[in-house]
Every structure is written in structure tokens, then in C-alpha cells.
Amino acid sequence: MTKATKTSRPVEAKAGADKSSVADAASEIDVAAILRSSGEAAYEWRIEADTLTWSSNAPALLGLRDTGPISTGRGFAMLLDPGNTKTRFDAVTHSTKRDQGKGVAYQVEYALRSNPRAPKRWIEDTGRWFAGKDGKPERAHGVIRVINDRHKREEQLAYLSRFDPLTGEINRWHLTEQLEKALQETARAKTNCGFLLVAIDGLGQVNEAYGYDIADEVIGIVARRLRSKMRGEDCLGRFSGNKFGLILRNCTPDEIGVAAERFLSHVRHDVVMTSAGPIAVTGTIGSVVAPRHGGNVHDVLARAQETLDLAKEKRPGSFLVYQPNIEREAMRRENILATDKIVTALNQRRIMLAYEPVVDAQTHKGVFYECLLRIRSTDGVMISAADIMPVAERLGLVRLLDQRVLELVVAEMAAHPSLHASVNVSAASTFDPDWWARLEALLRLHRSVAERLIIEITETMAIHDIDNARGFVARVKDLGARIAIDDFGAGFTSFRNLRKLGVDMIKIDGAFVQNLKRSADDRTFVRTMLDLARGLKLKSVAEWVPDKETAAMLAAWGCDYLQGGYVGHASIDRPPMALHEKRAVKL
């Protein structure tokens, strides 16, 4: 029994070993299947012996017959493309990290060819190396996968991030990067460079006449013509839709004009042959010499654009070189300060309302208030709309002010149900979707406000585009508010257009009202406008009424309402009709 027991144990042990071998083999087969299905191959690299052991699917993945050519690190290196900047060998042997017992991870991308005539295969190699007793890499293992499609997409994205796909020239971002480098070079070498902003004239008309595809052909041909006249050290890029930027290194102030004429001459020399036929093309250039007239990218680009605009005004097809202008620089500084003041006032909630009363012409009882913009400066001084709106319109900030005034007016009217008010809106805001969205949201939130609200638009804005103005009027009236034409008479709107607009009220321009007592022409004109309003069943307001005699004259002629110094000046004090109401509405 003892012997049998003793002999049975090795058999059991052997049987267990056989089962373990079978399990290991099954496990290895499963791993190989997983690697094949996922498009990966595994390897182990014994660095000192320089042996590479691969999973069985590696040759198929790499386009090889067997693992012979890649059985050593040296053999694998023979297949690598010479253009690689980093390989597995570099990632492992040149690693600056230390193995703390768990190995050091690495990932690298490189290209290889199965033979010299074979196409490149881009490989992503992900693994971990382990150190020997001396701390140096002793072995590494990992997996590789072919990433040709991904690499192609990444190359395309990298290309598009720096180049314009239509012309093949560098894009605006890369152009400004090159301009920054050129400015740094000129500063170090104490030389000059030129920047030319070239605009293709009349490209909008080409779009309308022939379509965008033909306009794209024109852009591409102009780009090639510009490039053909560049020196080797010059740089061309697409700045925007119809504009190119040219950086001319080592270009003196005297040379920049010669260069501009060379480019323009070649652009206009021959008609551009497109698939739609020949098209005559010209270009206009605004140029800057740096660092003389621009020490940084922002200044160079701004002055080039400014000079290009001046050249277009002078004559399309011409060029101008930037020259300092004291008045222009003062205006630019004023614009910067004004922008800062307006934006700061908006952020700090220093936009306020001034209320100017409008009264019944017969009884002189209050009817509504025109709500006017005021900005309280940091020193407490009130700035009127007349001082700030022209600047805001020039700087493109008027829509922000219009929106804030609208919010304030609706808040006051919601808090004080007896308050009837009018508010002015600039031409820019009538097309602003944000202003419309705010108006609709406010009137939905405070439904009792619309019937007490009057929106004022200027006559010059209305007659500039009758159809759009008519749409604006209809949209406001659909929301339940009324529309008044402000400064009526200044634009000489025809009877037909006034009827077409469908407004509720006209406000006669004060320039015709203030001198009624002395001017027979103004009296005739104002009476005609009042008759016109009465005939169209429109309410009328006379602005700038200066005194009792003028007020009486207007009342006798049938004017409905009066506004101006005689009635009461604009004041930031809340109207008397609202003082007793305590509700507050926050927007």
C-alpha cells in the first residue's frame, strides 16, 4: 500500500501538470485570437540578447512571410523608415524615467516598410520596459497596431490647421505666426519688413453673377499669380475670404511700393480663365512697413486693413502705404477709451433712464414718457444719449445699449402699471436677433406692458429699406406694442411709404418746430405733416416745443401731443405717476 501510494503521487502530479499545460495552451490560443480580431500583435524584447519574440499574427499584420526579419531588434530596425523621428528603441533606451518595480510605460508612433518598394505602414507601439539590477532597461513587452487610416486623418487635420484648403497657402493663423517671427527677426537685425494686405476687387459680384464655385476658381488663380511674383524669402497666406497677406522680408520703405505695383500688375495683366469663361480681375493693396509703423502683429494688421480701406475709397485697383495721421490716431485712442467706458458702464450697471414727458396738446396732461439713455460716469456726471450713441454706433456697441435700455424700461413699466412709455431702437438693433429675443421674452413675461409700450424708430432708418421696416413694424405690433416714427420730416417720407409702413404715430422733427413763430416755411411744413397724420389716422407728437405760443399754435392745428422744453426736460427722477407704486421688478 505504501509503495502504491508513493507511485500514485507523481502520476497525479503529472496529470495536474498536463491539465495546466492544456489550460495554458487554451489561454494562449484565446489571446492570439483576441489579438488577431483587434488588429494587434504582441512582442517581447530581450534587450541584452536583442531577441524579439512575436505573437503568431505579427507577420500578417506587418506584411511579412514570417517573423525571421523581425526576430531581433536590429532586424526590426532595418524595416523602419528613415524619416522617423522616434522609434521603440529611442522610447526605451533613451527614457529619462526610472523603473520603480512596475516597469515604465511608453507609446510611440513610427513608419516601417516590409520591403523597400512597399508602402509605409504607420505603427502605434504601446508597451512597458523593465529594468535589470543595474537600473537600465533589460526587457520590454507590448503590442503594435497599424494606424494608417488614423495617421492619414491626423495629417489632414494638421494640414488644415495650418493651410487653406482652397489655395494651398498658409491660413490666417499660420500667417500671423509667420508675421510675428518676421517682426522678431527685424527687431534683432535692425532691418525692415513689409506687410501687404491684398483684396480681390468685386469678388461679391462674381459670386452673384457666376456662383461661389467660380469665385473660388478666381481666388485660387489670384493666389498662384501672387506666388509667382514672390521672392524666395517672402511669405503668402490667405487672410480671409477675398484677402491675402504678403510678408516681405528685408523690404525697405522705398521698395514696398515697387513690390505692391508688381503684384497688382500681375493680378490684372490677363483675364482670369474660369470654367464659366474669362473674368477681368483687379486687386487693391494696403501696406505697412514694420517695425517703423507697427511693432506688433495687432498694429500691423489693423493698419494694413485701415490703409486697404482708404485705398478702396480712393480707387479700386490701387495701393497705399500706411502713413501716420495724428487725427486718425487720436480717433483710434478715443475709440478705445469709449469702448472701455461703455462696456464698463454696462458691466457695472451704470446705464440709467431719463424720463421726458409727452403731454396732451389740449389739456397738457401727461400721456407717456420717452425713456432716454443716460450713463452715470464714475465721477457721478451724467452722459446723455446724444454724446454716447454716435460713438456706440461707430464701434458696434449700440445693440448692447439698446438691449439694456429695453430691459430697464420694461422693468419700470412692469413695476408701475400706470406708466406708459416709449423707447428708441437703433437701426442696427432692428435686425439683431438678440434684441428681438429679449423683447419677446420680456413681453411674454410681463403681458400688461405691451399695450403701454411704444417703440420709436427714426424716419431715415424706415425709408432706407421700406420692406424691412414694414416687417419690423408688423412684428412689433404682433407683440401688442405700438410704433412711432421719430424725427419725422427729416427724411421726407412720401405719403405712399408712410401708409405702407403701418405705424401708429409720427413724432415731428423738432428742427421744424422750434422756429414756428419766426419761419413761415416751417409753419407750412408742420401743418402739412399734421394734416397728413390726421388723414392717415395717426397720432402726432411735436418735439422741441419751446414756449406757450408755439404750443398753442400746434394745438390749434390739431397736433395730438407735445414734447420739449416748454412741457418738461428729461430727468432721471422717476415720473410722478409712478412714485406711489412700490413694486419692483428685477430683470
Instruction: List the Cα angle 35/37/43 in 5-degree steps.
Output: 15
Q: What is the largest CA-CA distance in the chain?
A: 144
CA 222/CA 252 separation, integer angstroms: 25
Instruction: List the Cα angle 539/545/546 in 5-degree steps.
Output: 170
Lowest mean pLDDT among 61-70, 343-352, 551-560, 578-587: 578-587
CA 522/CA 278 separation, integer angstroms: 57
CA 151/CA 112 separation, integer angstroms: 13
pLDDT of residue 395: 81
Lowest mean pLDDT among 66-80, 218-232, 451-465, 508-522: 451-465
CA 490/CA 522 separation, integer angstroms: 12
pLDDT of residue 3: 43
> Which residues have C-beta within 8 Å of that of residue 580, sequence separation ≥ 6?
none
DSSP 8-state class, residue 233: T
Tens-place pLDDT, residues 254-294 = 899 999 999 999 999 889 999 999 999 999 999 999 998 88
Lowest mean pLDDT among 187-201, 320-334, 399-413: 320-334
R_g over Cα of the chain: 39
pLDDT of residue 493: 60
pLDDT of residue 11: 40
Confirm if 449 and 482 have CB atoms less than 8 A apart: no
CA 261/CA 114 separation, integer angstroms: 54
Confirm if 579 and 559 have CB atoms less than 8 A apart: no
Classify the phi-psi angles of 533: left when phi > 0, otherwise alpha if psi is within -120 to 50, otherwise beta: alpha
Answer whether residue 150 shows pLDDT above 70.
yes
Ordered DSSP codes for 271-334: -EEETTEEE---EEEEEEEETTT-SSHHHHHHHHHHHHHHHHHH-TT-EEE----HHHHHHHHH
Q: Backbone phi, then psi, for 271, in 5-degree steps?
A: -65, 155
* Total residue length of the chain: 587
Confirm if 517 and 544 have CB atoms less than 8 A apart: no
Answer whether residue 495 shows pLDDT above 80.
no
Specify the pairing of strand 505-508 against strand 539-542: parallel
- pLDDT higher for 202 or 12? 202
Answer whether residue 330 shows pLDDT above 80.
no
Mean pLDDT value of segment 82-91: 92
pLDDT band at 222 (very low <50, low <70, confident <90, very high): very high
Tens-place pLDDT, residues 528-558 = 999 999 999 999 999 999 999 999 999 999 9
Confirm if 542 and 569 have CB atoms less than 8 A apart: no
pLDDT band at 29 (very low <50, low <70, confident <90, very high): low
Tens-place pLDDT, residues 108-140 = 999 999 888 899 999 999 999 999 999 999 999
CA 564/CA 378 separation, integer angstroms: 29
Tens-place pLDDT, residues 393-452 = 888 888 999 999 999 999 999 999 999 999 999 988 988 899 999 999 999 999 999 999
Answer whether residue 15 shows pLDDT above 60.
no
